[in-house]
Amino acid sequence: MGKFDGKVIIITGAAGGIGKVTAQKLAEQGASLVLVDLKLDAVEAVVAELGLEEGKALALQANVANENEVQAYVEATLDKFGKIDGFFNNAGIEGITANVEDYPTDVFELVLNVNVKGAFFGLKYVVPAMKKQGYGSIVNTASGAGLIGSPGFVGYNSSKHALIGMTRVVALETAPFGVRVNAVAPGVINTRMMRQIEKNTVPQDAEGARKAFGAAVPMGRYGEAEEVANVAIFLLSDDSSYVTQSIYTVDGGQMNQ
């Protein structure tokens, strides 16, 4: 019997590295999954690759920065499964690397729209369902960048600082209703996003940037998507029943040096 048997979990950014691995591990533990991403074919490919049963999986396309589309994926979940036990509020983008005076306004707005408004909309529509149930666990994907300053990342860092603040506020608002809200804060993780950040940071030597990022971690390496997924799954599970308003760094010790 799996730890998530009978439970319904929504994952946004489900076609990305961390989202996909989390989906796989939750499915192995019996969860029914609602997988949301910007491109339907990408999330349908995840369903097919993981061999998810039709009755236990729902693939949905949504731009999380669009409030109507977020409301629609929440309503589709409730229509199919009747409840939401867990919500992995995971979708996000990195933006570009540039000092503030050179950072394009439209890119800054895009990063905040996806990473802040997208997370906010998810909370806005998932929280009422969980409050009505009297239980639920929400995990936001923040970042170590939400705890420090990183030159060249004014868009991304600002968005993740905002998400950490949002996590703490909503955790306090929902605690009396049996709903828990926490965040994972990954450091440098071996995913597509870090490949892009490496290219953005040192276009002429992305491999050199990768080595430098890894060397800055006390554990001396990048983390893997599975290592973030393991923490997110703990927070989604009943094993963390007395944990809320917490920010879990998954960064090899980097943020606490």
Mapping DSSP to helix (H, G, I), strand (E, B) and coil, where does residue 113 land? helix
Give CA–CA dist 55/135, Å, rounded.
23
Q: What is the DSSP letter of 82?
A: S
Q: Active-site residue 248, yes or no? A: no
Give CA–CA dist 140/175, Å, rounded.
16
Whether residue 207 contacts residue 214, with contact meaning beta carbons closer than 8 Å, is answered with no
Q: What is the DSSP letter of 3?
A: T
Catalytic residue among 156, 222, 242, 248: 156
In which element (H, E) is residue 206 found?
A: helix 206-215
Whether residue 17 contacts residue 186, with contact meaning beta carbons closer than 8 Å, is answered with no
Kindly list the catalytic residues: 156
